[in-house]
Structures are given as structure tokens and as C-alpha cells.
Amino acid sequence: MSALIAVVALIVAVGACGRESAGPQAVREGADAAKFADEIRQRISTDAMMSHLQKLQDIADAHGGNRAAGEPGYDASVDYVAGALRDKGFDVQTPEFEVRVFKGENGTVTSGGASLVAMPLQFTIGTKPEGLTAPLVPARPGDAPGCAATDYDGLPVQGAVVLVDRGTCPFAQKMANAVARGAVGVIIANSVDEKEMGGTLGEDTDVLVPVVSVSKADGAALRAKPEQVTIKISAETREFKSRNVVAQTKTGATDNVVMVGAHLDSVPEGPGINDNGSGVAAVLETALQMGAEPDVRNAVRFGFWGAEELGLVGSANYIETLDVEELKDIALYLNFDMLASPNPGYFTYDGDQSAPRTRNDSAPRVPEGSAGIERLLVEYLASADKESQDTSFDGRSDYDAFTLAGIPSGGLFAGAEEKMSAEQAKLWDGKADEPFDPNYHKDTDTIEHIDRTALGIQGAGVGYVAAFYAQDQGGRNGMPDRADRTRHVVAPS
């Protein structure tokens, strides 16, 4: 599950699976669907999923302790998953995409002996270790400070660090105008009172000088007494290629696809066996047990996403390559991220929006059909003697691009860094006031900390719900017919 890191994905090559129809639009027979779903459910064993997790653990152990995007362990993970699918007869694609990752740490602006906190703007360059020292020249205040090059007329900007207020125009424009007059650095002063000011220069900006932000109060102090300043900031932007893994059954209607996905990468800090080896193991085993040519009415497409931990990049890249017709071909998306937390919960994504919200909560994107997915998953968990609770569509996993495109989505989740409540501990026989996964994004996210019971229940649930919709997309838990689907092309950000 992703944390917030500044990333931009640039498309190099990606192939959506073919959309030629393999037959008429889905025949809807719920009884047959339930029978098939239960057959697939029974085939998905905990031991088989643990075997996949052991392979991923071995890969991490052999490659510096992680399977992070851009690292050898991730490439080995791609090869393992793609090889297992090919061995089962699937035609497998591993489309590449480019990732641009910004990493920066708070630094300082020193002036007159006072050291002020400075935040790097995304995609800025850093300074040398000794910092950048130059005279400070404040831009003239106004309604659009620094938004025109003429704002610096008559000011000694050449070789100076410019101080300019936030507001009106993009940060990149303020930077470019100062640099055009010879500035060697830029400090953006916040225009409102807040602890920190985020901001980006943009992924396509040619950044030539360090650009940092300071608080409104610190900006006022610098403006009141402009003198020589020293900026020290650590920042870098790394670019590399990564891959998704995509495979689709050779049977079933390809204009009514069931898509099932899990992110394949870990964080750099650890092997990522729960996050998200557990989802990978369940989705992979579902594909292997279903096979490349199952007797299904609707095709099933499996996606293993790269660079999720860097901002959901692989899944977003995939969606960005699809046109409206290709998006309509995907009837629904099922996402599985963290299924075997050591102190597990049994959550379903809140497709019916029944979870309480406060007045200040923003409503998430929940396309029509998502409520049916949640109901089917709730019914499945009940059949496994587990009462479910809602988890929000909060944008922290790969469903995000699919819901943005209008594709109904749902999935299971065992919990991350949040603590289990007393009520939940009673419900699930867990440990109250302890995190669902105390190893989240740590080097201790290893196979030894997988909860086998949760993996068995939720992993089999992956197979159940995927198989059910492969046969039946009608009824109360069904999806809109293709002709009635609303989809939105998603442009690269």
C-alpha cells in the first residue's frame, strides 16, 4: 500500500489485451456462477500461496533485502510471476513505463546567524553540501509577485537568491522569471499561515537552480532584513523504467472483462511479503488455478502493478493507455493489497458508501457497480465465518486509477499501520490498540509474520469473487451492461 511520494509516470509502451469479442455479452446464470466460484475457491490453498510468498522472500533475500521498483529484486519478481503464468499457458505482457521519482529532505536557509526551515519544492535540484551562498533580493510585492520578468526591473538579481511570495502563478513561472534575470536560487515565502507548504515545479520543468519554500513568518523576517543567505537542501530526481505484468484468459467475452490486480513492488526498506506479496500470491494462485482457458462467459485479466509504492504509477500508466472503448471493455476491477496482516482485520472497500462520514469528509469516487462487489465480498466473508467492516476508497492503492476512469471497483484488505480497536479485537479475536500490521513498510515485513489464517480466507476470496464475475455479472450484485457504462479517459498527470 502506497505512501505519498512525488512521482511522474511517462508512457513508453503498454499493450491492452485484445478486445475482439469471444462471444455474445455475458449470459447471466447465478447458480452456475456460485458453483464455479466455489470450485475455484476450494482449489486455492494456503500452502500454495505460502509457496509463492517464499519465492518472493527468497528474491528479496538475494537482492539486497527488497523488491522495490527500479531495483533488481523487482525485476526478479516480474520474471517469477510472468514465468509462472507462461508455464500455465497464458500469453503474458510485461509493458514498460518510465518512473520519475523525486526525493528531498527539509533543509535550511541561514541569514544573519538565524537558521530557518526550508522545504524543497518537488523536482528542485539540491545544493552542494556546503550550501549555496548569495545576496538575498526580495521581489517587489504585488497582486502577482514574480509572475512577470519585469517584476525584477531595476533589482540586482544577477548572482542573487530571490525571495518571492507565493500566489497567482505557478512556482515554475516564478522560478523561470528570476532565473532569466540571473538568479542562482529562489525562496518562495508562503502567503498563508500554515506549518508546511507543499508544491511542485512540475515534472516537465527544466530546473536550473535550487527552489525552496519557507513559512509566511520566516519570509517576512527575511524580507525585513535582506542580507546574504545560505541555502542548504538535499534533493534529487531519479528516472528509471519499470514493468507491469498483464495476462488474460483466452476464453470468455473480451468486451466484459473481469480485471483482478495486486501491486508487485515492495518499499525499499523491506521485502514486502504482506505488502504486497500476499495480494500477489492470491491473485497469482487464482490465475494458475483458473488456467488460461477456463470455461467462463467473461474473460479474466490479471494485472501485477509496478511502482505502486512510488505513487500508484504502474496501474495509473495502464489506465492512461486505454481509450474509452477499451475502458468500457473492463466491467469491473478487483484490487487486493495486504491480505495477511499479523493482527488481521477483514475489510471490504466501501462500495455502498455505508461507512459514517463527518461533515468535512470529501466523498470518494465510487462508480456504479461497486456496491455489488462489496456485497458479494461481504457474503463471501460471512461464509468463512468472518464479519466484515468497511475501508474507505482513500486513494492509497491501485483501484484509484480505475475508479477515476469510472470502472466499478472493490477488494479485500487486512489492515496496515492503523491500530485495531477494542470492538474490532473482539470481532476478529485480535489485539486491541495494536497495529494491524506493525511491520508495515519495514524490513520486518517477512514471511515469518504472515497470518496464515487470514491469507487462507482472504486469498480464497480472491478466487471466489473473480470466478463468480467471470460467469455472472447480473442480478443485485451485478455490473452495468456495456452499453450503459460511463467511462473517462485518464490523461497522464
Per-residue pLDDT tens for 71-118?
Answer: 999 999 999 999 999 999 999 999 999 999 899 999 999 998 899 999
In this structure, the number of other CB atoms found within 10 A of the CB of residue 42 comes to 12
The residues near 204 (Cβ < 8 Å, ≥ 6 apart) are: none
CATH number of 103-239: 3.50.30.30
Above 90 in pLDDT, residue 8?
no
Whether 333 shows a pLDDT value over 50: the answer reads: yes
Q: Examine the pLDDT at 248 and tell me if it is beyond 80.
A: yes
Q: Is 387 a catalytic residue?
A: no
Query: Average of pLDDT values for 175-187?
Result: 97
Greatest Cα-to-Cα distance within the chain, rounded to the nearest angstrom: 80
Residues in the chain: 493
Type of residue at 227 = E
Peptide bond into 477 cis (omega under 30): no
For residue 332, the model assigns a pLDDT of 99
Q: What does the pLDDT read at residue 245? A: 99
Is residue 14 predicted with pLDDT exceeding 80? no
Label residue 243 by pLDDT band (50, 70, 90): very high
DSSP structure string for 36-79: HHHHHHHH--HHHHHHHHHHHHHHHHHTTT--BTTSHHHHHHHH
| Candidate list 96, 130, 203, 308, residue with the active-site label | 308
Residue 7 pLDDT > 50, yes or no? no
pLDDT, residue 340, reads 99
Of 192 and 426, more confident: 426
Where helices occur in 338-421 by DSSP H, the ranges are 370-383, 399-404
Residues of the chain with CATH 3.50.30.30: 103-239
For residue 113, the model assigns a pLDDT of 87
Mind listing the pLDDT tens digit for each residue in 18-51? 444 343 333 344 559 999 999 999 999 999 999 9
CATH class of this structure's domain 7-95+244-484:
alpha beta
Check pLDDT > 80 for residue 258. Answer: yes
What is residue 141's predicted lDDT score, i.e. its pLDDT?
85
Give ranges for CATH 3.40.630.10 in the chain.
7-95+244-484
Helix or strand or coil: residue 152?
helix
Q: Kindly tell me if the per-residue pLDDT of 134 is higher than 50.
A: yes
Q: Decide if pLDDT at 273 tops 60.
A: yes
| Cut 0.95: pTM above it | no
Angstrom distance (rounded) from CA 227 to CA 466 = 65
**Rounded to an integer, what distance in angstroms lies between the CA atom of residue 278 and that of residue 111?**
51
CA 162 to chain centre: 36
Strand partners, 332: 258
- CA-based torsion, 374, 380, 402, 32: positive or negative: negative
The whole-number pLDDT of residue 24 equals 33
